[in-house]
Amino acid sequence: MQQVDLVGSESYQEVLKRVITFQENNNSDYIIGRGWDQNDWEVKKFPTKKELDFIFPNTPVSLTRIDGHAMIVNSKAIEMAGITKNTKIAGGEVILKNGEPSGILIDTPMRLVWNTYPEEDKAYYIKALKDAEKKCLELGLTTIDEAGTNRFVIGLVDSLQQAGEMSLRMYAMITKDTSNLEYYLNKGIVKTDRLNIRSVKVWADGALGSRGAAMKDEYSDQAGKHGAMITDEAELASLAKRIVNAGYQMNTHAIGDSANISVLRVYTEILKNEEDPRWRVEHAQIVSSSDFNYFSNKILPSIQPTHATSDMYWAEDRVGKERIKGAYSYKTLLEKSGLVVLGTDFPVEKVNPMYTFYAAVARKDLDNYPEGGYRIDEGLTREETLKGMTIWAAYSNFEEDEKGSIEIGKFADFTVLEKNIMKIPLDEIPSVKVHATFINGEMVFNYGLGEIN
């Protein structure tokens, strides 16, 4: 919300116009944006830096794809990052054109650009946190899982919560940076009423939309392309040993079938003597039919239903008719683990949990497409979906005794909706509004309810 918002842009020309407008209003020394998706454009190809170089020859520009796993940068940003045609980093790619960097970076080389971003002051981050919280409360969220953060941000969140300036509860996963691991794994679980730190977020591979997801066989729409592991299986195993020995939970992003089996093999080996680890596979997006049996009450699928309805237009082009049978298979994952953990994955997807609910049950986009639902046999019932967004999500956070259902002895965290989403016609669900949001018995958002005591 502090950057150029490129979500929903329908062409690269629209992306450029939004960047120009942003810069006219902000005059930034470094232009940073996020949200473009070439799959939504008429020309569904990655752009190059040519236009950005022409418009902004002296100002660095970095525009991240909506999934966070690719970016387009101009020559100034490339120069500042020290990237050349010879730059090679495991787990990603610098895309070349005519033998020189095209401006497109996939996964790990993006870190070189991040390292050149200007340092923001504390006030910037506090504003960002409060802006994000306001959006969440308006949409009925009472706890969020922050899937990858650091000690600095966690400290800010804690101080705001303790001072009564932030109501939202947070389950914060630390990233696998050495400093984070050294501090938190030695310190142990950190828990307050509003903050819970007991997990590590790891990225096994990239994303499907940018062809960075690690696949066993080549992509169906690009010969020779397999994606890449950001964290290979050996490193996953080494990390897993450290994490389990510290009593922490490991939550690993896995999109491609190769990444998923790597994570599943590591989890299975590490957890064989653990009684109740609740380790999560984040996304579990494309799983080979023979690999579903790895999921269990120890290995939980943490999935985002709107991924299915965002990707359904082009996903089969990427992976083909056979592999798509193991993609976005939420009912199968439920049967294997006994529960599914449901979230939105914002800012990759919209924040609104009503979209999550609708996508899980109807398996349709907001235009009611496709008729009958996308692979509807893998859809969830309304009750399964509600549990996945409440009590099962709380369970996956080791918080089922304090939240996830409205019961005596638990936090008074609940959301008042204008309609009963368990009974209304499915196509009405996306437009359902939140009347009020309560956290710890306090009304933290109110729309149309008047005074409540």
pLDDT tens profile 415-437: 999 999 999 999 999 999 999 99
Banded pLDDT at 449 (limits 50, 70, 90):
low
What's the CA dihedral at 317, 38, 173, 446 to 10 degrees? -110
Give the mean pLDDT of 86-100.
92
Q: What was the pLDDT predicted at 277?
A: 98
CB atoms within 10 A of CB 247: 12
CA-closest candidate to residue 205, choices 359, 71, 93, 311 = 93
Measured between alpha carbons, how far is 181 from 184 in angstroms, rounded to an integer? Answer: 6
Q: What was the pLDDT predicted at 43?
A: 87
Banded pLDDT at 452 (limits 50, 70, 90):
low
DSSP, res 119:
P
Measured between alpha carbons, how far is 311 from 316 in angstroms, rounded to an integer? Answer: 9
Quick check: 170 and 157 in contact, CB under 8 A?
A: yes
Q: List pLDDT tens digits, range 312-348.
A: 999 999 999 999 999 999 999 999 999 999 999 999 9
DSSP, res 144:
E
Question: Distances from the Cα of 164 to the Cαs of 74, 123, 160, 338, 355, in angstroms?
Answer: 42, 17, 6, 37, 30
Q: What was the pLDDT predicted at 67?
A: 87
Q: What was the pLDDT predicted at 181?
A: 97
The b/e string for 365-390 (b: 16+ C-beta within 10 A; e otherwise) is: beeeeeeebbbeebbbeeebbbbbbb
Q: What was the pLDDT predicted at 238?
A: 98
* Segments of 304-412 assigned E as strands: 341-342
Quick check: 41 and 32 in contact, CB under 8 A?
A: no
Question: Distances from the Cα of 357 to the Cαs of 3, 181, 372, 421, in angstroms?
Answer: 28, 34, 16, 9
Q: What was the pLDDT predicted at 447?
A: 87
Measured between alpha carbons, how far is 171 from 155 in angstroms, rounded to an integer? Answer: 13
DSSP, residue by residue, 200-257: EEEE-B--TTTT-S--SS-BTTBTT----BSS-HHHHHHHHHHHHHTT-EEEEEE-SH
Q: What was the pLDDT predicted at 448?
A: 66
Q: What share of the chain in percent tops pLDDT 70? A: 99
Q: List pLDDT tens digits, range 96-115.
A: 999 999 999 999 999 999 99
Cα end-to-end distance, the chain, whole Å? 33
DSSP, res 29:
S
Give the mean pLDDT of 74-79.
97
Banded pLDDT at 301 (limits 50, 70, 90):
very high
Q: Model pTM greater than 0.85?
A: yes
Instruction: Report whether pLDDT(6) > 80.
Output: yes
Q: List pLDDT tens digits, range 337-390.
A: 999 999 999 999 999 999 999 999 999 999 999 999 999 999 999 999 999 999
Residue ranges and CATH numbers for the domains of the chain are 4-114 (3.10.310.70), 140-406 (3.20.20.140)
Measured between alpha carbons, how far is 151 from 155 in angstroms, rounded to an integer? Answer: 6
Beta strands 195-203 and 169-175, pairing class: parallel
Q: What was the pLDDT predicted at 451?
A: 59
Q: List pLDDT tens digits, range 211-233.
A: 999 999 999 999 999 999 999 99
Q: List pLDDT tens digits, range 14-72.
A: 999 999 999 999 999 999 999 999 988 988 899 999 999 999 999 999 999 998 889 99
Give the mean pLDDT of 191-199.
97
Single-letter amino acid, residue 453: N
Compute the mean pLDDT over every residue in the chain, rounded to the nearest whole number: 96
Q: What was the pLDDT predicted at 197?
A: 98
Instruction: Report whether pLDDT(453) > 70.
Output: no
Q: What share of the chain in percent tops pLDDT 90? A: 94
Measured between alpha carbons, how far is 188 from 165 in angstroms, rounded to an integer? Answer: 26
Measured between alpha carbons, how far is 297 from 290 in angstroms, rounded to an integer? Answer: 18
Give the mean pLDDT of 406-410.
97
